[in-house]
Structure 1
Amino acid sequence: MVMKVYSPEFKADAVALYLSEPGRTIRSVADDLGVNHETLRNWISAHRARQREGAESVPAAGSGAPIGSGTVLEQENKQLRARIRELELERDILRRAAKYFRRDELVMSRFQFVEDHRDAFGVKRLCRVLEVSRSGFYRWLAAAPAREARRQADDELADRIRAIHAETDGTYGSPRVTAELRHAGRRVNRKRVERVMRERGIVGVHLRRKVRTTVPEPSAVPVPDLLGRDFTAARPNTRYVGDITYLPIGDGQFLYLATVLDLCSKRLVGWSIADHMRTELVTDALKAAAAARDGSLDGAVFHSDNGSQYVSKEFADICRELGVTRSRGAVGTSADNAAAEAFNATLKRETLQGAKRWPGARAARLAVFRWITRYNTRRRHSALNYLSPIEFEQRSVTLALAA
C-alpha cells in the first residue's frame, strides 16, 4: 500500500535521493520509497525540466534563410547539434557533481566543484547547471587567501594543542587546553580550541555523556498521564506518542528529529528534522501527522515527555487547534514514553549500522528519510504479525468496513 498524496518536500527528497546515488535505477529507488517507479520518473523529469528553464532556446527554424536552397535544413541541423552538445555537457556536469559531492560532503561544495572544473566547462555554464550565482562564486574565490591563512593558523594551533595533549597523557579536554595556552601567553578563544580539537580528533579523557534532548519546564501546567505505560491502541488515529532524538553528524554537531508514532499501527505518521530544538520542531511534526491523516487528529491522544517544547504554550495551542488531547509522563522517567524511545533507538541503530555519525547533514537527512519511508511502507513489524504499518492500517480499514 503506497501513499496517495505526496508533499512537495517528499518529492524533493525522493529526487535528491535518486540523484545522490547515480549507480541505482529509478525502479530500485522507487521500491525503497514505496512509490510507483513511473511516478518517481515523472518527478525526476519535472526536476530536470526546471533545471533547463534557464537554457538558451533554440532559434526558430528557417528564419531569414532562402526557401529551397538547403540553407534552412543546414541551419536547423547546426542548431540541433549545438543543443545536443550542450545537453550532453550538462549531463556530464551533473554526473560528475553527484560523485563529487557524495565522495566528501564535509570538504566539497558547489563553489569548489565550479573552481575545479571551470577550465573544462566554463564558470557560466557550471553555475547555471548547479544553480549557484556567479557573483557568489567569485566572492567565494576572492576569500580563498583568507581561508588559507585561517587554515594555516589552525594547523599551527593544532600542533601546539597536540603537544599539550601529549604532555598531559591525553587527559586534557578543550577547557584545560585553553587554560594551558593562555597561561603560556597565547590569547585564544575556547570555542576555537574546541573546534580545532574536534576537527582533528583530539579528545581528552571524559565520561561518556548522553546528549540531553528532554529539558523539563518547571513552570509547566500539569497534564495527566493518559496512557499509564499502556502503549497500545484499538484502532489507528486514536493514540500517539512522540519524542525528540538527536542525529549526530560529522562536524561534531547534531540534527534533531521529532516524531509522531501511531500506537495501533506503529506507523510514523508525522516527523520533522531541523538543526535546532525550538518548539516549531515538534509543532511541525504534529502538523505533518495531521496532514497525513487527511487534516484531522480530532479526538486523538498525544503522549510525550516533559520537554520544554511539549509543555510550551505554542504546542498546547496547536493541539487545541487540531483537537488533540495532551498526555505526559512523569518528569525524569523515560519508561513513561518507552514506545517513542524504542522507535528512536531502532531508527538510529538501523541507519547508522554501527557508525558513530553521518558524514554530513544531507547524508543524515536522506538516510532518515529513506528509512522512515521504508519503515512505513515495507518494513515488517513483529507486533503487527509481520505486516508493514501502512499495510496493517489498510487491512484494519478493510475489516472495519466488512464489519
Structure 2
Amino acid sequence: MAMKHYPAEFKADAVALYRSRPGATIKSVAEDLGVNTETLRNWIRADDGRRPGAHSPTQAAAPAQVPEPTEAELAAARKRIRELEEERDILRKAARYFAGGDALVNRFQFVDDHRRRYGVKRLCTILGIARSSFCYWRRTVPARAARQAADDQLARRIRAVHTASDGTYGVPRITAELHDDGERVNHKKVARVMRTIGLAGLRLRRKYRTTIPDPAAVKAADLIGRDFTAERPNIKYVGDITYLPVSGAKPLCLATVIDLCSRRLAGWAIADHMRAELVVDALAAAERTRGSMAGAIMHTGHGSQYTSAAFADACARTGVRRSMSAVGSSAGNAAAESWNASMKRETLKGAKAWPTARHARLSAFRWASRYNTRRRHSRLGQRSPITYANAFFAPSTTLPQAA
C-alpha cells in the first residue's frame, strides 16, 4: 500500500536495507518496499551526499569512503528489514478488507482477525487507529450483534405490514400497525430500518380538474366554511368526482360520499360518464348504507352535476341540506380531494392508467373496501374509518361493515 509522504525514518531504513544487500538492485528493493524505483534512487543519492567524505561538486572524481558496518549495525538492519517486510505483508492483507472503502469498522475487523499472529498494539500502529478504540469496539460486539438481530426481526415485520398494505403504507401507518401487534417501537427506528431495506410509502400524484361549474346554475350556501370535522357520524358529508384513467380508452368517473366524522366512504358510484345521475347514484348508495341521512349536510363543489335539478331533487328526497364551497377555491372541498388522491396513489402506484375499465372498477372496489375496514387514517389516530365510527355506537347499533 503506497504512501504519498514517507517519514524520514522510513527513508533511512529503506536506504539501509539497500546497502545491507550487496547483490540487490535498487529496483528489487523498491518493489519489496512498495515504493517507486526512482524515489528510492533519490533517497540513496541524498544519503550519499550526507555521508562523511561524500564528494562535492568540485571533488567529483574522489572515491567515497564507505566504512564497514559493525555486527551490531548489521543485526539492527536485518531486524528492521524483517519488520518492514512483515509490515508490507500486513498492509497487503489489510487491503483486501478495504475493497468496499477504508471504513473504520473494516480496520477494527482486520485487527481482530489477525491479533493473535501480529499483536493488537502493532496492528493498530500500522493501520493508524487507537488501541483503546479497538478495545471498545471489541467489547461491544455482542451488543451490536443483538441490535442487528433485533433490526433484522423488525425488518421482517415491517416487510409483512408493507406487503399487506399493497406497498402503500409509510412510516406512520406501519408504526401504528406494529403498535397494535404489541411491538413497542419508535417511529424513528421504523424509518431507519425502512431506509436500510429500501422500503417507502407511496407519494402524492399531481391533481386533475374534474369540477366544471355551470355559470347559470343556482348555487347553495357554504354551510361548513372549510370545517371538515364533525362531532359524530352522519351529520356532515362531502362529495366529489374524480377520473379513473384507462389506457387507450375513455376514462371512468368515480363519485363519492364521505362522512366527515369517521372519514368513512358511505356511498360511491362508477360510470363512463359525468352526468347528474352519477352523483345521484352515489348519494343513494350512502343512504342505503346509513339507513337515513335526514338532517345531515351534503357539501360539494360547484360542478354542473351538483348544481343540477336532479341532484337537488335527490337531496330533498334524502333529507340532506346542500352546501357548496366558494367558487374557485382549491381548499373548499379538500377532504374529498384528499380521498381521491390517496385512492389513485395507492391503486395506480405510479402508473398513468389502468389497462382496462374492468381493472379500474375492481381496483376501486377493492381499495374502497380496504379503506373502510382496514386502512389506517392519520386523522383518526391511525384507526380505520369503521373502527373509529364504531366507538360512537353501542354494540347493538354498530354500523354495518360493508363498504
TM-score in terms of structure 1 length: 0.46
TM-score in terms of structure 2 length: 0.46
Greater Rg over alpha carbons, structure: 2
